[in-house]
Amino acid sequence: MARIDDLLDRMTLEEQVSLLSGEDFWSLPAIDRLGIGKLRVTDGPNGARGGGSLIGGVKSASFPVGIALGATWNVDLLEEVGAALAEEVKSKSAHVLLAPTVNIHRSVTNGRNFECYSEDPILTARLAVAYIEGLQGQGIGATIKHYAGNESEIERTTISSQIDERTLRELYLVPFEAAVKVARTWGVMSAYNKLNGVYASENPWLLTTVLRNEWGYDGVVMSDWFGSHSTAPTVNAGLDIEMPGPTRDRGDKLVAAVRDGAVSAQTVRERARNVLHLLERTGAIDDRRPFEEHADDRAEHRALIRRAAAEGMVLLRNEGGVLPLEPMPGRIAVIGPNARTAQIMGGGSAQLNAHYRVSPWQGLVDALGRERLVYAPGATNHRFEPLIEGTFSVAFFANTELAGEPVHHGTQTNAEAFWIGRIADGKVDPLNFSARLTGTYRPEETGLHRVGLFSAGLARLYIDGRLVADSWAGWTPGRTFFEEGNDEVIGEAMLEAGRSHKVVIEFATRPARTLAVAGLRAGIGLPLGDEAISEAVAAALDAETALVFVGRNGEWDTEGSDLASIDLPGRQNELVAAVAAANPRTVVVLQTGGPVEMPWLDKVAGVIEAWYPGQEAGNAIADVLLGTAEPGGRLPQSFPVQWGDNPTRSQDPEVYPGLNGKVRYEEGLFVGYRHYEKTGIAPLFPFGFGLSYSRFALSEPEVDASGFEADASVRVSVWLTNTGERAGSDVVQLYVGDDEASLERPAKELKAFAKVALEPGETRRIVFDLKDRDFAFYRPEARHWLVEAGTFTLHLGRSAADIAFSASVGRATTLMLPV
């Protein structure tokens, strides 16, 4: 730290302050006088987008999303993914990845569940630690997020998450604590929301008392983008960096706050020290390379993505051994809205411009050949009308009235724009401009088309000179563009097949609510009717097997918008039921960011949950369907029978989705499988569930509790055998229950797990070493963890509902543990 101390001694107050906010959207400023380089960050967590917009930009590798990685239950794989992402970050000349996302799946409708690993804190923590170690082992900083209480996307930048301390300590803080204490993460991102009435970005209990004083954190805390709201309160609470730049509340304001005594010079020095430490750790402090971003499409990353995607897919049903399909003669009907569209990622800040996208149709064509396959869409599942593709010319104006001559001309490849930071070559103020987009649309069919438009700003769309969709007059905030945009406005236009219809979209900025972004999206679609389902049924009747690809997409599973339900959108349930009635060998492949209701479940032969598996989606799905790879996933989130069964169901809207600026975590510790066990509600599929193409047997466990009285340690050993004819993997799960707790505790909680791959007939010994915290609960009034005297039950099995063996251990004394 001698170099850092020397730099701090030589820096002026203004130079120290300059390090505490972004220079632009993705970087901190260099200090050339002292030879301090520029630090660059890039969004994750399922790729490294680089310094461009959320739309377009330099291409990047798209990895499986968080819930898909969570479903792998594979710690070693997550470390591999972290190391590969470090290479991706380097290809974008960045030093820090804004990842991983470790918020807990509290509800089943959180729009960002796809980005998070699990409903369980221990599974989340272990995977996050491995991801961080893989990333930072290659010299790239992790920024674990969002600290803390960011489990929904409704009023997300202002709502207060009301969470009691015990629930925080035992659930929501666990992954962050492990990231700090075990993985030694270099970065933490504060959440947008308030925690118990105080913004996370200026919450001294979160940022200083817990993070630094109790956990010993020595890294950087940065705000989420536009997620800091003050000068002295954020700096004094422990927020090191305000993002993005240029600064809103620091710079001259912070210098003045020091002069006025609201912030001490020593506090600024400590914040600058943390930033310099990050610069030193990542090598950014001495990085003088020219800024270059490369689209490195690496063969080894392609292979890793394909393998990880298959390993996260969960086989939920396999009646009569319908899967795997090969070897199998006969025709295959490929049906559904996700069959020819590659749904590879969720929406929001995690999205990127993938190198390529492989659809399930293409994956099956490549594996089997085109002649065996027949296709029928059957239904749609889009939330918004299909994006208008094709070249649009864009004229930018340095005012909000589209007045005068354009100051810049550009082009784009579709009718979607997301403008942040420097736009139009810097010729317009990104918060005060207007634009006119001009292009054409050639429909494939004649008919009355639906025209959709929404915008972060004001917009209106004309077709052949007629105003068709108006997102300008009467604009009201909605659930698009991170809650900065309105909900989609729908108009109608009669369009003629093969004719080039002129499309003009006018746009102007408006004052931001919280996030200083601007954008628009326009789509045109022709609705599918009953005939589409009839065509799908006909295809299924004429096939040996019907594969139905249904689910959601990144329009539904997205940052900034929770789901209204867990029904499959549109007429997809009707489609599945109709196809299943026509063909008993119907297999449903789901692609969602979380649970869905399945009213047709007992009518179909097979179900696979494939999530959003990255750019190799179709290849990995074909691998699993055909048996080239096994479905290696186990559910990281419980699937309820219906939405009303989930833990956040309540007649009180303050519990969910929130009311009057508060969302109350009334269920406390009883999230996910803990809730279903407490209430006696059987889930559709329990946490940890997943079928295999092989069979496995567990031996009765051996329990060594000789150290339990002294230090609350227990060793559990068990043998796992592959008794099937195929190689495969299984996940052995160990849960702990406190039989005599003085405070209410869940009946059992996951404390250890192991994923083991075995050849047919192979046996392997698995050893779990449980520690004191695995038996403890938190006592807020005493501010310590407590292992009580009494009996504890160890449950060993393959899911929260499939327990093969149980054993008891006991102790006569209590054991108090520090925070």
Alpha helices in 389-544 (DSSP H): 530-541
Are 452 and 490 a contacting pair, CB within 8 Å? yes
Please, are residues 45 and 352 in contact by the beta-carbon 8 Å criterion?
no
Domain for residue 18, yes or no?
Answer: yes
Range of the domain at 247: 2-54+62-285
> Tokens representing 377?
């869409």
Strand extents, DSSP E, 148-289: 160-162, 187-190, 194-195, 198-199, 220-223
Would residue 690 count as lying in a domain? Answer: no
pLDDT at site 542:
95
CATH number of the domain bearing residue 504: 2.60.120.260
Q: Which amino acid is at 127?
A: L
Q: Are residues 315 and 276 in the same domain?
A: no
Q: In sequence order, which ranges of 65-119 are alpha helices (DSSP H)?
A: 66-72, 75-91
Give, in order, the Cα–Cα distances in Å from 785 to each of 311, 751, 780, 781.
36, 16, 9, 11
Q: For the chain, which residues score pLDDT lower than 50?
A: none
- Check whether the bond before 443 is cis (ω within 30° of 0): no
Which CATH number do you get for residue 775?
2.60.40.10
Alpha carbons 810 and 807: distance in angstroms, whole number: 10
Q: Hey, is 156 helix, strand or coil?
A: coil
Q: How far apart are CA 387 and CA 521, in angstroms?
A: 7
Verify that 586 and 483 share a domain, yes or no.
Answer: no
User: Of 255, 285, 315, which one is at a domain's C-terminal end?
Assistant: 285
Catalytic residue among 43, 120, 224, 645: 224
pLDDT tens digit sequence for 528-587? 999 999 999 999 999 999 999 999 999 999 999 999 999 999 999 999 999 999 999 999
Count CA atoms within 13 Å of residue 519 on its CB side: 24
User: Residue 565: its pLDDT value, please?
Assistant: 96
Please, are residues 201 and 234 in contact by the beta-carbon 8 Å criterion? yes
Paired tokens of 372 = 């065996």
DSSP state of 566: S
Residues 535 and 520 in one domain: no
Q: Are strands 714-722 and 696-698 parallel, antiparallel or unpaired?
A: antiparallel
Give the pLDDT score at 389.
95
Tens digits of per-residue pLDDT, 715-767? 999 999 999 999 999 999 999 999 999 999 999 999 999 999 999 999 999 99
Which of 549, 613, 564, 573 has the alpha carbon at shortest distance from 114?
Answer: 613
Q: Is there a single domain that holds both residue 156 and residue 129? A: yes
Q: Provide the sign of the torsion angle of the four alpha carbons 790, 791, 794, 799, taken in this order.
A: negative
User: Is 635 in the same domain as 701?
Assistant: no
pLDDT score for 85: 98
Block residue for tokens 């990050």: 278
Cα gap 271→239, rounded to integer Å:
8
The answer, yes or no, to whether the previous bond of 244 is cis (omega within 30 of 0) is yes
Residue 103's identity, in one-letter code, is N
Q: Which of 131, 59, 61 is closest to 99 using CA atoms?
A: 131
Instruction: Give the CATH number of the domain where residue 216 resides.
Output: 3.20.20.300
Alpha helices per DSSP H over 631-776: 673-679, 708-711
pLDDT score of 421? 81
Q: How many domains does the chain have?
A: 4
Whether 638 contacts 800, CB under 8 Å: yes
Mean pLDDT of the chain: 97
∠ at Cα 774 (773, 778), nearest 5°? 50
Same domain, 706 and 791: yes
Please give, one letter per residue, the 3-state secondary structure of 366-434: HHHCHHHEEEECCCCCCCCCCECEEEEEEEEECCCCCCCCCCEEEEEEECEEEECCCCHHHCCECCECE
Predicted confidence at residue 77, as pLDDT, reads 98
Written as one letter, the residue type at 156 is: R
Please report, for residues 293, 328, 715, 717, the alpha-carbon distance to residue 701 in angstroms, rounded to integers and kept in the order given: 53, 40, 10, 5
Encoded amino acid at 19, one letter: L
Residue 700 and residue 807: Cα distance in Å, rounded?
A: 10
Final residue of a structural domain among 250, 285, 320: 285
Same domain, residue pair 518 and 533:
no
In this structure, the answer to whether residues 588 and 517 fall within a common structural domain is no
Q: Report if residue 38 sits inside a domain.
A: yes
Tell me how far apart the alpha carbons of residues 342 and 317 are, in angstroms, rounded to a whole number: 23
| 295 in a structural domain | no
| Model confidence pLDDT, tens digit, residues 278-311 | 999 999 999 998 999 999 999 999 999 999 999 9
Is position 296 within any domain? no
- Tell me if 299 is assigned to some domain: no
| Adjacent-strand bridge partners of 317 | 607
pTM: 0.96
| Residue 139 sits in the same domain as residue 214 | yes
* Tokens coding 753: 């797990």
Return the structure tokens found at 348: 């929001």
Dist. CA 811–CA 813, nearest whole Å: 6
| Residue 224 among the catalytic residues | yes
Q: Is residue 744 part of a domain?
A: yes
* Pair type for strands 763-770 and 714-722: antiparallel
Contact 635, 684 (CB under 8 A): no
> Which residues are CB-neighbours of 814 under 8 A, at least 6 positions away?
786, 787, 788, 789
616 to each of 356, 561, 613, 647, how far by Cα in Å? 8, 26, 7, 34
φ/ψ region of 514 (left if φ > 0, alpha if ψ in -120 to 50, else beta) reads alpha
Closest CA to 720 of 776, 759, 666: 759
**Structure tokens belonging to residue 107:** 């509800």
Please give the span between the terminal C-alpha atoms of the chain, in angstroms, as a whole number.
27
What CA–CA distance (Å, rounded) separates 638 from 366?
Answer: 34
Q: Which residue has the tokens 């070897």?
A: 327
Q: Are 181 and 131 part of one and the same domain?
A: yes
> Is there a single domain that holds both residue 325 and residue 400?
no
Instruction: Yes or no: say if 542 and 335 are a contact pair by the CB < 8 Å rule.
Output: no
Opening angle at CA 44, ends 38 and 49, nearest 5: 70
DSSP-derived letter for residue 138 is T
3-state DSSP: the chain helix, strand, coil percent, rounded to 5? 25, 30, 45
Residues 319 and 369 placed together within one structural domain of the fold:
yes
Residue 300 within a domain: no
Q: What pLDDT digit, counting tens, does each position of 81-103 carry?
A: 999 999 999 999 999 999 999 99
pLDDT tens per residue, range 211-245: 999 999 999 999 999 999 999 999 999 999 999 99
Q: Phi first, then psi: what are they for 237, rounded to 5°?
A: -75, -25
Longest pairwise C-alpha distance within the chain = 84
Question: At which of 473, 508, 525 does a domain end?
Answer: 525
User: What's the pLDDT tens digit per position in 612-646?
Assistant: 999 999 999 999 999 999 999 999 999 999 999 99
CA angle 660, 120, 611 (to 5 degrees): 90
- Residues 457 and 518 sit within 8 Å (Cβ to Cβ): yes
